[in-house]
Amino acid sequence: MNTTHSLPSTPPSSLFLRACLGLEVERTPVWLMRQAGRYLPEYREVRKLAGDFLALCKTPELAARVTLQPIERFALDAAILFSDILVIPEAMGMTLTFLEGEGPHFPTPLNRPAELERLVLPDPEVQLGYVLRAVRTIRQQLPAPIPLIGFSGSPWTLATYMIEGGSSKKFTRIKTALYDDPHFLDALLERLAVAVTDYLNAQIDHGVAAVQLFDTWGGVLGPDEYRHFSLEPMARIIAGLKRLRPDGTRIPVILFSKGCGGYLETIAASGCDVIGLDWTTPLDQARSRLGPAIALQGNLDPAVLYAQPGRIRTEVGRVLGTMGGQNGHIFNLGHGIEPNVNPERVAVLVQTVHEESRRIKLNVVA
């Protein structure tokens, strides 16, 4: 368990939540980033019904439906709310569009300090109320043993999209701001940290059982820049979250910084319960560096899902074997499922995690 935090008065029954807290589990729990998405034919049907991606996110009944689809199809141990990280910048007043084949686009990106004044601090119950209605709807329909994970993008990742205007390969605009006008970037990150804290707390109030911070672009920063511009705002968010419900139930926090395996010790000091790892950091090395005080999540290369079932089983077994049956591990991909993956390959992955992790556990006990 994470020794910086007290255990809940009543330990959870969910395998996923128990693993987040480092508690004993009979097998390794599994969920997958982007488990609700374009690789599922049933998702594509709902997407057509919605008309466009943003409309799907903003229609609570449809967002709930696609959240539940992978739970109905696979024996997963957690659901993750279907939404998008960029709903926060839109709620702050930025125009957001999704271009077919190109992804998210902000037609008027931020480029000067004065433009911060046009950003409002959103009230999650108002500007993001459609997300909270989706959370309530999902909780009503989700089988009781399955926890719901809420999420947000990290301030650094959100700021990257807001300043670049969309996805980027070189990050020229935001890195120019970082080096030429760090006060502007700090002010933006502070506003985003407050907005994300409020947003995640609202998700917790409406019923999510855990939250994850997606720091997709943390890995483009050097060590000092990562600490200052990415990790410190996330640490402020974690410190401001409602981690305990009145009944003593603990809300675990997962921090996933892609490409940041070199910064694990720094990440562990953020206050999170779980560190998500991409596939470039071996789990056993992470455990050796961090000890048992923090849980690990990951970290199969998503491309393995293109392989034949036998190779998928081998690679899943290899990842599980690096943990040796230790507690405090949630199986996941090192990033999201790609859209053209065959769903049957995902079924093989989930079944193998169940069977192989149980076998490893039994061998450890024996």
| Residue among 65, 77, 84, 226 flagged as catalytic | 84
Task: Tell me, yes or no, if 161 is annotated catalytic.
Answer: yes
- Report d(CA 75, CA 304) in Å as an integer: 19
Residue 97 burial (CB count, 10 A): 14
| 208: Cα within 13 Å, side-chain hemisphere | 30
Phi, psi of 256 (to 5 degrees): -120, 105
| Residue among 18, 34, 65, 250 flagged as catalytic | 34
Task: Tell me, yes or no, if 247 is annotated catalytic.
Answer: no
| Residue among 39, 43, 65, 161 flagged as catalytic | 161
Task: Tell me, yes or no, if 47 is annotated catalytic.
Answer: yes
Cα 3 off chain centre by: 22
CA 10, 32, 130, 59 torsion: positive or negative? negative
Q: Do the Cβ atoms of 40 and 52 come closer than 8 Å?
A: no
What are the distances in angstroms from CA 32 to CA 36, 83, 149, 335? 9, 15, 11, 8
- Report d(CA 65, CA 233) in Å as an integer: 33
Q: Do the Cβ atoms of 144 and 217 come closer than 8 Å?
A: no
| Residue among 27, 47, 191, 345 flagged as catalytic | 47
Task: Tell me, yes or no, if 34 is annotated catalytic.
Answer: yes
Write out the catalytic residue numbers: 34, 38, 47, 84, 161
